[in-house]
């Protein structure tokens, strides 16, 4: 049996696979090595993942994760896994390569992620050939859940959506304005906190100003990222919860820019399992 992992900043989906057949899916907290240590991730694996494997012998672990694009960061995740598994074959790749393989297999195309964070690349069927750096949710991550949350909270608290939406949001989040500022500026993982606001944004997407905020964020993503690749000759496909749940607006933004979309799926796992089979 092997384990294929799709690691985002918010959650990691671990898939136990035997000869191309999925035996079990397990979800743990995110394992982005920019935000978590080896020890921290190791404890999570030991307490939340191992008990659910029921002693099955694992022959290989293939981890595709957010933040896993640099050798020193990949080592953090690899060491955490190695501390819990007696497995020689532990391979760590970026979540972006996971998205590309999951979407295209061995075919070329433009692969994008819109989840807690965002990213994009041109994939030639084997490797990532071009990548516009996402730069994180403060400097970049256009169209991501974290950025949608940041844009929404900033506008909402500055009374851009009206008092009714503001009151509904404060009731939804169950935090005072000073507490919201504390979560963003002083508490760990502000990107996750901001991304957690996406369901409220989706529930109020009928508001013209909120719709326009999301539409503009996606347009920003396309212009600053996708349009730097050969988008006129290759389809653009998406993975991630934000892309999936806001796909109507994503399609409208792409159409306005004359960009042809391919697949929009929530997770690369089905494609990854098919690839390893």
94-108 confidence digits (pLDDT tens)? 989 999 999 999 999
CB atoms within 10 A of CB 38: 17
70-81 average pLDDT score: 95
Do 238 and 113 meet the contact criterion of CB atoms below 8 Å apart? yes
- Rounded to two decimals, the pTM is 0.85
Quote the Cα angle for 3-6-8, to 5°. 145
Say whether pLDDT at 252 is over 80. yes
Rounded Cα distance between 23 and 19, Å, is 10
Rounded Cα distance between 44 and 37, Å, is 11
Average pLDDT, the chain: 93
Write down the pLDDT at residue 10: 78
185-202 confidence digits (pLDDT tens)? 999 889 989 999 999 999
Write down the pLDDT at residue 153: 97
Quote the Cα angle for 110-111-115, to 5°. 145
Most confident of 53-62, 63-72, 226-235: 226-235
């Amino acid at each position: 049996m092997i384990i294929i992992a799709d690691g985002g900043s918010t959650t990691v989906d671990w898939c136990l696979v035997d000869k191309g057949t999925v035996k079990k899916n397990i979800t743990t907290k995110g394992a982005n090595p920019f935000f978590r240590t080896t020890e921290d991730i190791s404890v999570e694996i030991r307490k939340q993942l191992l008990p659910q494997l029921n002693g099955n012998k694992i022959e290989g672990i293939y981890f595709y994760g957010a933040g896993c694009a640099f050798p020193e960061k990949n080592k953090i995740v690899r060491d955490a896994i190695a501390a819990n598994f007696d497995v020689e074959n532990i391979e760590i790749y970026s979540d972006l390569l996971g998205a590309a393989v999951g979407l295209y297999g061995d075919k070329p195309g433009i692969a994008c992620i819109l989840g807690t964070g965002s990213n994009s690349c041109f994939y030639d069927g084997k490797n990532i050939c071009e990548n516009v750096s996402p730069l994180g949710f403060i400097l970049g991550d256009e169209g991501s859940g974290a950025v949608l949350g940041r844009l929404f909270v900033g506008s909402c608290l500055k009374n851009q959506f009206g008092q009714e939406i503001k009151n509904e949001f404060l009731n939804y989040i169950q935090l005072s304005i000073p507490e919201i500022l504390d979560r963003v500026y002083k508490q760990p993982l502000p990107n996750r906190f901001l991304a957690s606001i996406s369901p409220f944004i989706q529930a109020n997407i009928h508001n013209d100003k909120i719709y326009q905020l999301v539409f503009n964020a996606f347009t920003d993503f396309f212009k600053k990222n996708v349009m730097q690749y050969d988008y006129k000759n290759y389809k653009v496909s998406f993975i991630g919860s934000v892309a999936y749940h806001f796909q109507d607006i994503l399609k409208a933004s792409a159409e306005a820019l004359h960009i042809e979309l391919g697949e929009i799926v929530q997770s690369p796992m089905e494609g990854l399992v098919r690839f390893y089979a």
